[in-house]
C-alpha cells in the first residue's frame, strides 16, 4: 500500500490523539467522513495501525522504578533464543524486549514499583531462566524524552 499525504496526516493525527472521532478527523483533513473512515479502516487492515491504547502515567499506578537491563545468554541456538523470548514476553514487569547485536543479546525495559520489586524480579524470574549468563542493569534517573509518535 502506497501512502499519500492524507494517509500520513491521518496517521499523525491518530498518533497524537487516537480518541478523535471520524468526524473530527474529517474536519482536520478537509475531507468528508466516509472517505476518512475508509482510509482509517484500510490503514488498520494493512497493518499501519497496530492498535489503539491509553498511555497511563506509571507513577500514578505505583511503577516508579524504570531500568534498562541487558542480558547475555550462554548459548545462541535458535530454539534457546525463542525460549528466552517467550519467557520474558510473559513477565508483566518487561515493557519491551529487543534482540540486539553487540556484547549483550537482549535489552529489556523493566518497570516496577521500587528497588525491592526489581530485586525480586531479577532473582526470582529473570536470573532463573535457563541459558541466562549475565544481567546488567541501568536505572533511569529522569525521563528526558519518551516519544511514542513517529514523525511522518
Residue 52 in domain: no
Supply the pLDDT for residue 66.
98
User: CB atoms < 10 A from the CB of 113, how many?
Assistant: 15
Residue 95 in domain: yes
Supply the pLDDT for residue 96.
98
Residue reference for cell 471520524: 22
Instruction: Write down the pTM of the prediction.
Output: 0.89
- Rounded to 5°, the CA angle 139-65-124 comes to 90
CA–CA distance, 97 with 101 (Å, rounded to integer): 13
Q: List pLDDT tens digits, range 61-93.
A: 999 999 999 999 999 999 999 999 999 999 999
Residues 73 and 33 in one domain: no
What residue ranges of the chain have pLDDT lower than 70? none
Contact call for residues 142 and 122 (beta carbons, < 8 A): no
Residues 35 and 69 in one domain: no
- Provide the residue range defining the domain that includes 33: 5-45
Residues 62 and 135 in one domain: yes
Residues 85 and 22 in one domain: no
3-class secondary structure for 38-69?
HHHHHHHHCCCCCCCCCCCCHHHHCCCEEEEE
Grid cell for residue 148:
511514542
Supply the pLDDT for residue 1.
87
Residues 106 and 135 in one domain: yes
Residues 28 and 90 in one domain: no
Residues 18 and 64 in one domain: no
Domain count, the chain: 2
Amino acid at each position: 500500500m502506497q501512502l499519500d499525504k492524507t494517509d500520513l496526516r491521518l496517521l499523525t493525527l491518530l498518533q497524537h490523539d487516537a480518541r478523535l472521532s471520524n468526524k473530527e478527523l474529517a474536519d482536520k483533513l478537509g475531507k468528508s467522513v466516509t472517505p476518512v473512515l475508509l482510509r482509517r479502516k484500510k490503514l488498520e487492515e494493512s497493518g499501519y495501525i497496530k492498535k489503539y491504547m491509553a498511555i497511563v502515567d506509571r507513577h500514578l499506578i505505583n511503577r516508579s522504578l524504570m531500568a534498562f537491563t541487558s542480558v547475555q545468554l550462554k548459548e545462541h541456538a535458535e530454539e534457546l533464543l525463542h525460549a528466552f523470548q517467550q519467557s520474558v514476553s510473559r513477565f508483566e514487569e518487561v515493557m519491551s524486549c529487543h534482540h540486539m547485536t553487540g556484547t549483550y543479546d537482549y535489552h529489556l525495559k523493566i518497570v516496577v514499583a521500587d528497588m525491592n520489586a526489581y530485586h525480586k524480579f531479577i532473582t526470582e524470574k529473570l536470573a532463573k531462566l535457563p541459558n541466562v549468563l549475565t544481567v546488567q542493569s541501568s536505572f533511569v534517573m529522569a525521563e528526558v524524552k519518551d516519544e511514542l509518535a513517529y514523525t511522518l
